[in-house]
Amino acid sequence: MTGFLTLLHKELLRFWKVGFQTIIAPMVSTLLYLLVFFHVLETRIEVYPEVAYTIFLIPGLVMMSVIQNAFANSSSSMIQSKISGNIVFVLLSPLTYRAIFFAYILASIVRGLLVGLGVYLVTLIFFDIPLLLPLWAILFVILGSAILGALGLIAGILADKFDQLAAFQNFIILPLTFLSGVFYTIHSLPAGWQYLSHLNPFFYMIDGFRYGFFGVSDISPHISLLIVSMCLIAISALTINLLRSGYKLRQ
Amino acid sequence: MLSAIEIKRVCKDFGSMRALVDVDLEISPGEFFALLGPNGAGKTTLINIIAGLSLADSGSVNVMGHNVITQYQQARRNLGVVPQELVYDPFFSVREVLLIQSGYYGIKHNNLWVDEIIERLDLTDKANANMRSLSGGMKRRVLVAQALVHKPPVIILDEPTAGVDVELRQTLWDFIKQLNQDGHTIVLTTHYLEEAETLCNRVAMLKEGRIIALDSTQNLIEKLVSGNSVKIRLLPDNLPLVLQPLKKSCTNGLYELRIDNYAHLEFILSALRSENIHIQEMHLQQPDLEDAFVSLIRNSGNKLQ
């Protein structure tokens, strides 16, 4: 347990020591999104009845910042350690594969939650946002950040260079996030796009998270919970197996 | 008796390159062991396999009786490795790095021992400095310290003095010698053969992934280098006929003559006197590991070709 706690502590310190870059900066960029969308789209888009577009948008943006930062944390930590070579200190130690997995994932969850919470608290100053079912929101935000933490770990292990990681981020994570219903409800989409959205696991994270705020969602939160949980289990198993096999880590 | 390190029929390929071919090696507790070989011989690959940083294609490796794959936790607790590359974590200070490393091994509250290794490696002034601000030599010492946080019985150092100045090299060797006297098994790779010769009891030489020699340092030298030699420069530059059979080489007017014992010198001197040839310069040559190494690598190269 001490080994796991130490690695977790180290991973938390790693982003905390550069908190301006890892927490404040992503908060600012998310709030900029909000500012722009608020001014341009506030009166033009109809989402849920009696929910103003900005209010609808805020949980989506919070979840988006959680997703992006959870992914960024584990992926950048892993690839930096690999490229600078200091991953050997972890690999030489008797830490189990599970301990390594859980430490990286938990650190990702914490960073994702800190950024998300920061965005949420700032928006609370300006807007009155309902939070009808907080436990649902917390559940989805934790599951979502855990999935992205695991995906980040996989990307960090597989990538040999920073630009490969950037490709993973720009061509997989970013499109999946943007097309998941952060900015809209999928009911406003044509049928084909609606169908495609259902194949995107990020859609369920955001829809379930939003359910925690408004008590309304595009699909049943129970289905979302089931799908998101299954995704987490599958991706965790994949990541632990990748760590156990030593692929790209123990040549 | 339990081996500190036991390597059995280990093979490792990197694509078409055979990095290790059927390597067998046993190192006993308390030994000071050197792994020698030219670049690319497979030394680092072998060390990485012992440390679990690389996985062997076949064969098995045990550290203090624990298999490095199936009992990796116990094996790693018994092993401290100083990597060849100067790697460090730029987010932390020296003391933080050592306490974090202790934690990885499940050791809480390791301050006393960490303070001791900081002091013994002369890092006290830099204990709270960020790793980034340290010189190469200092970073090397921190690597050694990191390998020792869990007091492992077996310590492997992969070219620990590469790129380190003379003074620090001496300090490091004294420290490692002390560790060996305290009962730690030491395995090192080095290019400074003289050091392997003075420090290590036993040597394995690797070439192209195979162990081509394995013996005590003394035996290896005796086996491979027969006798001493003397180098002389003559005036006039003319080696008497009777001395021709002793000639091993002549470079830039410096003759190298084989001598079987020191009495042999008298024979050489009298032969020169009788022809009225004067000695301008003279060096006695004793065989060393470097000669053994060069001769071995050359011979085995011929054999393989």
Greater pLDDT, A74 or B295: A74
Q: How confident is the model at residue B302 (pLDDT cuts 50, 70, 90)?
A: very low
Within this chain, do residues B11 and B115 fall inside the same structural domain, yes or no? yes
- Are B66 and B46 in the same domain? yes
Q: Which of B179, B207, B222 is the last residue of a domain?
A: B222
Residues in chain B, total: 305
Those residues with Cβ within 8 angstroms of residue A133's Cβ, 6 or more apart along the chain or in another chain: A211, A212, A213, A215
A89, A104, A245, A251: which to substitute to probe chain B, counting the most B Cβ within 10 Å? A89
Nearest C-alpha in B relative to A249: B53
Give residue A44's pLDDT band: very low, low, confident or very high (50, 70, 90): low
Task: Look at B166 and A11; give whichever has higher pLDDT.
Answer: A11
pLDDT confidence tier of residue B244, bands split at 50, 70 and 90:
confident
* Residue A2 sits at the chain B interface (C-beta within 8 Å): yes
* Lowest mean pLDDT across A47-56, A223-232, B287-296: B287-296
Name the residue among B211, B208, B169 with its Cα closest to residue B190: B169
C-alpha to C-alpha distances, A46 to A64, A80, A124, nearest whole angstrom: 21, 44, 22
Which residues in chain A have Cβ-Cβ distances shorter than 8 Å to B77? 94
CA distance A62 to A208: 13
Q: Is the pTM of this model over 0.90?
A: no
Using CA atoms, how far residue A96 sits from A237, B107, B152, in Å, is 14, 15, 18
> Which residues of chain B are within 8 Å of residue A3 when distances are taken between CB atoms?
103-106
Q: Tell me which residues of chain A, numbers 64 to 103, contact chain B at a CB-CB cutoff of 8 Å.
A: 81, 84-86, 88-96
> Percentage of residues in chain B with pLDDT exceeding 70?
90
β-sheet bridge partners, residue B233: B254, B281
Contacts of A18 in chain B (CB under 8 A): 91
B294: left (phi over 0), alpha (psi -120 to 50) or beta: alpha
Mean pLDDT (chain B) is 87
B152/B180 same-domain check: yes
Distances (CA, A) of A250 to A15, A215, B50, B90, B261: 25, 47, 12, 22, 53
Which range of A8-17, B184-193, B221-230, B285-294 scores highest in mean pLDDT? It is A8-17
pLDDT of B262 over the 80 cut: no
Quick one: B169 and B154 in the same domain? yes
Claim to verify: residue B120 and residue B250 sit in the same structural domain: no
B105 within a domain of the structure (yes/no):
yes
Amino acid letter, residue A151: L
Using a CB-CB distance cutoff of 8 angstroms, which residues of chain A are in contact with residue B89? 81, 84, 86, 89
- B94 Cα to chain A: minimum distance (Å): 14
Burial class (CB in 10 A: 0-12, 13-18, 19+), B25: buried
Q: Closest residue of B to A1, CA-based? A: B106
**Region B216-244 average pLDDT:** 79
Residue A132: which pLDDT band, with cuts at 50, 70 and 90?
very high
Backbone angles phi, psi at B36, to 5 degrees: -115, 160
Q: Is A9 on the interface with B (CB under 8 A)?
A: yes
CATH of residue B247: 3.30.70
CB pairs < 8 Å spanning A and B: 80
Backbone angles phi, psi at B176, to 5 degrees: -70, -35
Inside any domain, residue B301: no
Q: Is the pLDDT of residue B304 over 50?
A: no
Query: Domain range spanning residue B237?
Result: 227-286
The residue from B222, B242, B263 where one domain ends is B222
CB neighbours (10 Å) of residue A1?
8
Same domain, B23 and B113: yes
Lowest mean pLDDT among A143-152, B47-56, B92-101, B265-274: B265-274
The amino acid occupying position B286 is Q
**B28 contacts B4 by C-beta, under 8 angstroms:** yes
Does A3 sit within 8 Å of B104, measured CB to CB? yes
Give the mean pLDDT of chain A. Answer: 91
ipTM of the complex: 0.88
pLDDT at B289 over 80: no
Overall number of domains in chain B? 2
Q: In degrees, to the nearest 5, what angle opens at C-alpha A235 toward C-alphas A231 and A238?
A: 145
Task: For residue B25, give every residue at least 6 positions away whose Cβ sits within 8 Å of its Cβ, in sequence order, or none.
Answer: B5, B6, B7, B204, B211, B214
pLDDT tens per residue across span A175-217: 998 888 888 887 778 888 888 888 999 999 999 999 999 998 8
Per-residue pLDDT, averaged over A35-62, amounts to 80
- Give the DSSP H or E segment for B6: strand B5-14
Quick one: B235 and B208 in the same domain?
no
* Token code pair at residue A122: 């700032």
Q: What is the pLDDT of residue B230?
A: 85
A26-29 long-range contacts, CB within 8 A, separation 24+: A26/A65, A26/A68, A26/A69, A26/A72, A26/A115, A27/A65, A27/A115, A27/A118, A27/A119, A27/A122
Q: Does B44 touch chain A (CB under 8 A)?
A: no
| Candidate from B88, B90, B104 with C-beta closest to A93 | B104
Contact B228, B287 (CB under 8 A): yes
Find the CB nearest B103 among A6, A84, A96: A6
B205 and B243 inside one domain = no
| pLDDT exceeds 80 at position B162 | no
**Cross-chain residue pair A86–B87, CB shorter than 8 Å:** yes
B185 and B279 assigned to the same domain? no
Residues of A in contact with B51 (CB under 8 A): 92
Is B92–A13 a contact, with Cβ atoms under 8 angstroms apart? yes
Contacts of B54 in chain A (CB under 8 A): 250-251
Tell me the shortest Cα–Cα distance from B93 to chain A, in angstroms. 12
Helix (H) / strand (E) containing B207: strand B202-207
Q: Which residues of B58-69 are buried (b: 16+ CB within 10 A; e: fewer)?
A: ebebbbbebebe
B73 → chain A, closest CA residue? A94
